[in-house]
A and B are shown apart, each in its own frame.
Chain A
Amino acid sequence: MAENSTLGDSLRRHGVSRRGFLKFCTATASLMALPPSMVPAIAAALERARRPSVIWLSFQECTGCTESLTRSHSPSVESLIFDHISLDYHHTLQAAAGEAAEAAREAAMHENKGNYILVVDGSIPLGNPGYSTIAGISNLQMLEETAKDAAAIVAVGTCAAFGGLPQANPNPTGAVSVSDIIKDKPIINVSGCPPIPTVITGVLAHFLTFGAIPELDQYNRPKVFYGQSIHDRCYRRPFYDKGLFAETFDDEGAKAGWCLYKLGCKGPMTYNACATTKWNQGTSWPVESGHGCLGCSEPRFWDAGGFYNALSVPISDNSQTVAFAAAAGLVLGAAAAGLNYKTKDEAQKAHGTVTIDDLEKKS
């Protein structure tokens, strides 16, 4: 449960020196993708930061987001933050189950009314409440109930942020995003399938540090992480500009690390921090591993054409469209030709021979 001591107190109690605290602030700034010049401000804010209560709800999801988070560097500097937040409800991670778990949620909501952070992963089915329930409570009902007294909502993963895979055509469950339902609370979308773990913790760190939500883009995603496209930050971008592309996954171009645009990379339309933050403790990221970006942090990425088709290729089979249209064109063209032929033929039949006697207009 949340307590009233500040983070500064808490760290000092753990015997962390000022140097340690500064190092912690440096790491936090790096985590939040803020410039190092922000470190003094972060230090000042963290001194006063209080421990918030976090309730984590999982709806129509694959647990990939939770996996991403828990597989992140642990223990690490983030763990210091997680030591300092109070994860009061997370039905995958918590020890309590069933009624006890629900009781914990209700208690946390009650005690931290108006102050807790609600984290959601997974989309919410509107088709039939029975598609996804927790303890007999429909996702929609639980979300509305829990969101009511939250200070802010963090929608983790593309499902919660935009509807994600459950919403993919034909969207059998009527899946929607958190922001489709909750309109009166600040919502931070941390999209990705899954999101980069340090981005999840970075957002929580930001809220913890400054007690406010970070600057957001038009999709309510934190700009520090989603402000630039994969394409713009991609180390393979020079190859794109030079016109050097891998044609297959095992050709010389692919081995030389050329641009993966032709192999379906959706980097140009995708906004995320993969190119800088990278994955697995900064080891690598999809493009560096030789696979194009799927665009997973964008809405409806699942419906945006084949993963291995270039972004410029139409979503449906264009050669088929052209073939059908050409066949139709031949039929309609023949009809149009017939009409023109007939018009001209009639005009020729209606020809009145011109003689010198009818050169002048008689009127």
Chain B
Amino acid sequence: MSEATLERGINALKEQIDAPVAAFFSSCVSCGMCAEACLFYTETGDPKYTPIYKLEPLRRVWESEYTLVGKIKKVLGLNKPVTDELLQEWQELLYDSCTLCARCSMICPVGNDIVYMVRKAREGMVASGNSPEGVQGAATRAVTIGSPMGVKLSALEAQIRHIEADSGLKIPMDVEGADYLALLSSMEIMNFPEYLEGLAKIFKQAGVSWTLCSTAFEATNSGIQIGSSDIARTLVQRIVDGAERLKVKNVISPECGHAYTAIRWEGPNLIGRRLPFRVIHILELLDELRAAGRIKTKDLETDCYTFHDPCSIARKGGIIEEPRRLMNMVTTNFVDMKEHGKMAWCCGGGGGVSSNEDADSLRIKAFKRKRDQIAETGADVLVTACANCRLVIEEGLEEYRIELPVVGLSELIADHLVVDEEPPETPE
């Protein structure tokens, strides 16, 4: 059995450095603009949260391993080495104070994709044993139990029974040959079952053939959050296996940010081949159904609604217009926050921060940014499309004693769905 050591950490960083990383470090002129894009800096004013500063360990490895001057410095003993102490100190910077929101990547004047590098730097942190305990726990539960929150299939089945009993809708499980395989996040199973119910309602109305999978229902990927491709691969493989077993054509990523990143963007690269199915986010699917006229809504709200863009879905996933079109299906009074879409501010809990107890108080501080953004809109209801964002925002609002309903966009669509009057029957 191997174990986490500094050497393995440094080796992991060496593996991770590629041409973009080298170009990024070569380009940085220490202008500090990235700090202004980072809510951990803007809300605390502490310069150590400057995004590019968080990459110092990775930068040192790049310099001494991959540049002429660095190699010479190393031979002469003039280089600044990466030590265990350094990595330990940087744990806070690379985990507690980074949600992988990628806002810094959007504003860096020289075009450095900083979050791309943070994701890579975390590989070295994991390999050297410097990832935070809370995230380690989530990853361990995800691998051993099947879900970072420890949700087992039995719990899901119990929820399905509840939903079916309450709504009279059928939740299909392990249906081979279904068009769509729906994934869930543990939070949706435990905290927001209305998502699954909404899904069943919409798909029934739209005539979508879909299923859940008993061996691959968990969409989240703690490997992505902790920053270990090896662990992430194990988790993605389960979904790929489940989807291939059921021979589905599409896999639906749920209302969860990083799950989309994990399956949609990292998945094929982790398992080393193109996926034999299409990965689609639930918002993309709903928008497709809307465009095809397969779903319609009624009784539009007149209250002011605003939408929080989950970073992984909007800035890192390109799903920006879809939720806005969907929002206009449920309210006549949709107001965007000043900075939204690709420039949206993070809720403060992504990238594993919400499962990292060390970061709790910092996360609450950072939430001020979102709190003020929401307040500025004067909205009565906040809508989002990520269970993690939703939970983090709810917690944050509670912390600041603000009463504001936070709902998922899919269930909102389901609530306003025009359902044709026809005798209940199972599809096919």
A contacts B directly in the complex (CB < 8 Å)? yes
Contact B228 A358 (CB under 8 A): no
Query: Which of A339, A340, A347, A361 lies in contact with B11, CB distance below 8 A?
Result: A347
Contact A358 B68 (CB under 8 A): no
User: Is the interface on chain A under 10, 10 to 19, 20 to 34, or 35 or more residues?
Assistant: 20 to 34
For the complex formed, measure the closest distance between the CB of B204 and the CB atoms of chain A, giving whole angstroms.
Answer: 39
What residue of chain A has the Cβ atom nearest to residue B9's Cβ? A361
> Which chain B positions have C-beta within 8 A of A323?
none
- State the majority secondary structure of interface residues on B: helix
Contact B4 A362 (CB under 8 A): yes
For the complex formed, measure the closest distance between the CB of B267 and the CB atoms of chain A, giving whole angstroms.
Answer: 18
| Cβ-based interface call for A241 (8 A) | no
What residue of chain B has the Cβ atom nearest to residue A357's Cβ? B1
| Cβ-based interface call for A353 (8 A) | yes
Among A324-363, those with CB < 8 Å from B are 336, 339-340, 343-344, 347-348, 350-362
For the complex formed, measure the closest distance between the CB of A34 and the CB atoms of chain B, giving whole angstroms.
Answer: 56
Given contacts A340-B66, A354-B228, contact A359 B11 (CB under 8 A): no
Query: When each residue 53-68 of chain B gets 1 if its CB lies under 8 Å from chain A and 0 otherwise, what string results?
Result: 0000000000001101
> Which chain B positions have C-beta within 8 A of A339?
71
> Which chain A positions have C-beta within 8 A of B131?
359
CA distance A358 to B15 in the complex (A): 18
Given contacts A343-B66, A351-B12, contact A358 B231 (CB under 8 A): no
Contact B129 A360 (CB under 8 A): yes
Contact B136 A360 (CB under 8 A): yes
> Which chain B positions have C-beta within 8 A of A359?
4, 126, 129, 131, 136, 139-140, 226
| Cβ-based interface call for B154 (8 A) | no
> Which chain B positions have C-beta within 8 A of A344?
14-15, 17, 66
Contact A358 B2 (CB under 8 A): yes
| Cβ-based interface call for B3 (8 A) | yes
Contact B4 A347 (CB under 8 A): no
CA distance A362 to B17 in the complex (A): 26
| Cβ-based interface call for B144 (8 A) | yes
For the complex formed, measure the closest distance between the CB of A285 and the CB atoms of chain B, giving whole angstroms.
Answer: 50
| Cβ-based interface call for B128 (8 A) | yes
Contact B140 A347 (CB under 8 A): no
For the complex formed, measure the closest distance between the CB of A308 and the CB atoms of chain B, giving whole angstroms.
Answer: 40
| Cβ-based interface call for B127 (8 A) | yes
CA distance A339 to B228 in the complex (A): 27
Query: Which of A340, A347, A352 lies in contact with B2, CB distance below 8 A?
Result: A352
CA distance A31 to B15 in the complex (A): 80
CA distance A357 to B144 in the complex (A): 11
Contact B15 A356 (CB under 8 A): no
Query: When each residue 187-199 of chain A gets 1 if its CB lies under 8 Å from chain B and 0 otherwise, what string results?
Result: 0000000000000
CA distance A344 to B131 in the complex (A): 23
Q: Which residues of A come within 8 Å of B, CB atoms? A: 336, 339-340, 343-344, 347-348, 350-362
5 CB-based A-B contacts, threshold 8 Å: A343-B65, A348-B15, A352-B2, A359-B129, A359-B139
Q: Which residues of B come within 8 Å of A, CB atoms? A: 1-5, 8, 11-12, 14-15, 17, 65-66, 68, 71, 126-131, 136, 139-140, 143-144, 226, 228, 230-231
Contacts A351-B12, A359-B136 aside, 17 further interface pairs with beta carbons under 8 A come to A340-B66, A343-B66, A344-B15, A344-B17, A347-B12, A348-B15, A350-B11, A355-B230, A356-B136, A356-B140, A356-B231, A358-B3, A359-B226, A361-B3, A361-B128, A362-B3, A362-B129
